[in-house]
Amino acid sequence: MEYTHLGRTGLSVSRLCLGTMNFGPQTSEPDSHSIMDSAHENGINFFDTANVYGQDKGRGATEEIVGRFFAKGDGRREKTVLATKVYGNMTDYPNDGKLSALNIRRALDASLKRLQTDYVDLYQFHHVDRDTPWDEIWQAIDVAIQQGKILYAGSSNFAGWHIATAQEAARKRNSVGLVSEQSLYNLLTRDLELEVIPAAQANGLGIIPWSPLQGGLLGGVLKKNSEGKRRLESRSAESLASHRPQIEAYEAFADELGHEPGDIALAWLLHQPAVTAPIVGPRTQGQLDSALRAVDLKLDAAALARLDEIFPGKKPAPEQYAW
């Protein structure tokens, strides 16, 4: 496993981040624990979750599964750079959501209880809160840092100007501010290159891409579908129909390179200078094993250029539209 720093911090994290969203709803607790142990054995030290994960098992269920994994001991918590999130409503009460100082305090304490730990390494704002001023948000985060309950703060699904605004407010308080941005980024969806990546790079944030395979479209979907290994749901089928020529060219190029399409998609992200660690969210041990191959896959300039031809990227704004 390779490691890098998370944004401008001195914190070392693996080049793959283990996403836990499937733990509980899709993956049993014993299998989830086994996958987390395997991740540690393969050098993945960066785990991502959220207070709202759990779906039909109930919000908070995934954090509880992770917490019981840590409770098994043997250094499981100490080996993990733990990231969770706050924003989504956990109940119908009016103050049990978003980023008010009250909710940050309550939600953080509840996450710590479910996770069976006394601190979170990276506490992420799951979405931007347009109703709460940044002075209030940073005051709550500063208190949590002083109490030793979190070490770093990150964002998720922010626009570039949200990042800039948040950082300016933090600087006025002499606070560290954001150190990471978790967002949708992959070969097929490259909108981040317009504003978010330049803002992150200018402010020292590491990018943590979610859905690196675009819901499976970049994971060899055509081959799997033809072999009966994958049945597309309506939304995925519609997305495939609109991008089919690109996906066909992509899978053909993967065959030329002699690698699985999913490995190439992850490897491409690892070649992007702003990216810290793509989030892989395996439902099975086999899916984790597949993702691990990407760390050792090096793409040369010709391969990267061909991928840009198949999936054109964005220039930073305003060059994209005004130059």
- Active-site residue, 123 included: no
The owner of tokens 């994209």 is 320
Set 3, 53, 119, 185: catalytic member: 53
Q: Which DSSP helix (H) or strand (E) runs through 150? A: strand 150-156
Who contacts 62 (Cβ-Cβ below 8 Å, separation ≥6)?
20, 21, 23, 24, 25, 49, 50, 53, 54
- Could you give the CA distance from residue 61 to residue 119 in angstroms, rounded to a whole number? 18
User: In degrees rounded to 5, what are phi and psi of residue 179?
Assistant: -120, -5
Residues 12 and 46: beta-carbon distance below 8 Å:
no
Three-state DSSP class for residue 171: helix
Q: Which two tokens stand for residue 170?
A: 């933090």
- Could you give the CA distance from residue 101 to residue 277 in angstroms, rounded to a whole number? 29
Q: What is the pairing mode between strands 12-14 and 3-5?
A: antiparallel
User: In degrees rounded to 5, what are phi and psi of residue 199?
Assistant: -65, -40
- Could you give the CA distance from residue 70 to residue 120 in angstroms, rounded to a whole number? 13
Residues 200 and 209: beta-carbon distance below 8 Å:
no
Strand partners, 27: 23
- Could you give the CA distance from residue 246 to residue 269 in angstroms, rounded to a whole number? 18
Three-state DSSP class for residue 203: coil
Three-state DSSP class for residue 59: coil
Q: Which residues are catalytic?
A: 53
